[in-house]
Structure 1
Amino acid sequence: MALTPDDVVTKQFQHVRFKEGFDPDEVDDFLDEIVVEWRKTIAENEELKAKLAAYESGATPARAAEPAPAPVIAEAPAPAPAATTGATAPAASAGIIELAQRLHDEHVAEGIAQRDQLIADAKAQAASIVSEAETRGREELSKLERERTSLEGRISELRNFERDYRAQLRSYIEGKLRDLETTATTSGQQPVSAIGL
């Protein structure tokens, strides 16, 4: 695959769930492609340099053997494109590397910014949850305190009612017993307790 600078610029990496950044395998594979293309470019550059050196070393004797200007002119334009291609290849590979480094730095910066944003959001959410829980806890404690006060008042009322009820019941029973004893003594009969019942 021939890798162009546009490929590096337009390359999109998949976001990974539950982790920050991009899929490391996908990024590594893409960088491996860049390395392969870069090595091809370097090999091509070395080959062109070798051809240029061979041409230059072979061109000097050819000029000496042929004094005619026509072959020299015909051969002169050939090294210019080779030199241009040789000079363009390192520039292109350096451009690709620079572009890849810039993209890497941008992705790292974007990842750091996302991480910082996620941390800030999480801290804000945690603070909100803690604040809400504390508020709810205070409200529940206040509610339970009011209920306790109400129940203690109700218990006190029931105890007073029980005490009053017992006192009234005792006085009523004692009154009935006195009535029973006075009724029994006035009629001249023996009290029930004397009969043995």
Structure 2
Amino acid sequence: MMENSIYLQMKHRLKIKRGDILKLQDIAHIIVPEGLKDLHEITVLKNTSNIEKKFFVLDVISVVRKIKRRYPDADIQIIGPTETIFEMEEQRKKASPLLFALVWLLLFIGSGLAIINFHEETSMQAMHQKIYWMMTGKMNSTPYIVQIPYSLGLGVGMVLFFNHVFKKRINEEPSPLEIEMFNYQQDLDQYVVLNKHKESAKYHDDP
């Protein structure tokens, strides 16, 4: 039985293009005996040019069924995920400089207003005046010596918090934004798995 043992691990998520024909080696990691090497070339998905939706799911049972059709006596050991999520790559349109500038301006104004409102609610100006009075013993309505370093520190703190300077990562630790995006991706994958199984059957290769 060891000579016919096949170890199969489905890839969790793949991006594909319309019209792609996927073989077993494309959608899973497999370990097979020397006599079963042709399993790598089994066609698993076809007709992907007809896919209308962005996501669809292939479960491991469909893959096992195809292997069993060719090698009925094979002992298949499944490791890891039991389905693969496919995401169709859409043709990206060239970004408009005007749209980029508009989005950047909206984000800049929105974040600026959020910071201003936060400082107003927490009486940050009065706090700076009090800090200046504690340091110098004098009252000053515009303590720039406190406000300017605070403003610079606010910007540096945001850079450290998000762990990026433009596209360059400061260190290997993931930022809170990346953690939230990861959690969102996990929730999205779970939703797709629960709702898309039936839609993938028509793209499987015939026996």
Do both proteins adopt the same fold according to a TM-score greater than 0.5, normalized to the shorter chain?
no
Q: Which has the higher contact order (CA 8 A, sep 6+)?
A: 2
Larger radius of gyration: 1
The interval holding the TM-score normalised by the smaller chain is under 0.3
TM-score by length of 1: 0.22
Determine which structure has the larger helix proportion and give its number.
Answer: 1
